[in-house]
Amino acid sequence: MLMLTDCSSCRTPLQLPSGASSVRCTVCRAVTPVALAPAPAPSPDNGLLSFGQTPSVSGRKRAVICGVSYKGTKFELNGSINDANCMKYLLVNTFKFPESSILMLTEEETDPKQIPTKQNIRTAMQWLVQGCQSGDSLVFYYSGHGSQQRDPTGDEVDGYDETLCPMDFKTKGMIIDDEINATIVKPIPHGVKLHAIIDACHSGTMLDLSFLCRMDRNGRYKWEDHNPPMGHFKGTNGGEVICFSGCDDHQSSADTTCLSKVTSTGAMTYAFIEAIEMGHAKTYGDILTSMRTTIRKIESGGAHSSLLGMLFTRGRHGGGWKQEPQLTASEPFDVFTKRFSL
């Protein structure tokens, strides 16, 4: 079982070596003492989520899907839960993920462990990577508010940490990109593939991956090195992590009624699903190009019949919006030859 403790200084979750009396944080380098205790007897409520137990064979598929609507607050979003349901449908019906291996976190769930609180999202991320092995395919999807805060550790190129906002972020705080990276990026071993799909404001580098694909409107691109200037390691344990996000770090993401004239979804989520369903997902470059084309048509009110007049003119973070989907990765690759698969 994966055992973690929060860093005593920066609160990043740290994996505990077996029998260790202390552990050093890879982010701020602080040493956190560990209180050793006898192993508890197994029980259904002990440890990580027991939901969605997966087979022990190689080649498993597992996903965490978070849709946070902030219902009843001034931060309420119309499309996030719909996003989550659409993504589950896509994973099950197009990519053959077993329903039993998909953990849903929305305010509509009846199990208290599946409400998208800060602690439950943290636990779900731990569950996602627990025991992963070569051949596994993992997906982390999030639709909700995203934000930024000043980086206190000096490991961000732009000086800001990106953050996810759980439903209780006003009282419990946000989940910063350093923690996301430490929890679901660093543990990924050789042969395991993790895709993250983040439909939120300020989400361009939400996983703190080492490389960002800068692509112009003609399809010319280059990988921008985002390795931390202070030298903190943000890579994997040999595996591959690729992230599609709704917008650049300084941009907002919007809600849209494109999938239904009466139901909202995130514009990025719609564009991602449309790229796949329209056959524009042969390569990662194809998906990114298709998503950006769709978003530009929405923004301009162009001649995409199902999109005309259907976009909410507010970002998920409030106010006007402009967004350009982004692609980041743990290692650079040729985006127009690498085949996309989940």
Which string of b and e fits 13-50 if b means at least 16 CB within 10 Å? bbbbeeeeeebebbbbeeebeeeeeeeeeeeeeebbbe
For residue 104, report the phi and psi dihedrals to the nearest 5 degrees. Answer: -95, 130
Closest residue by Cα to residue 64 from 240, 168, 194: 194
195 annotated active-site: no
Which of 145, 195, 202, 317 is catalytic? The answer is 145
Q: Which residue among the candidates 25, 165, 201, 243 is catalytic per the annotation? A: 201
Residue that the structure tokens 């106010």 belong to:
319
**Reduced 3-state DSSP string for 56-100:** CCCCCEEEEEEECCCCCCCCCCCCHHHHHHHHHHHHHHCCCCCHH
Q: How many residues does the chain have?
A: 342
Give residues with Cβ within 8 angstroms of 254, minimum separation 6: 266, 267, 298, 311, 312, 313, 314, 315, 316, 321, 323
Q: Is 213 a catalytic residue?
A: no
Nearest to 257 by CA among 324, 308, 322: 308
Which H or E run includes 244? Answer: strand 240-245
Question: Which residues belong to the active site?
Answer: 145, 201
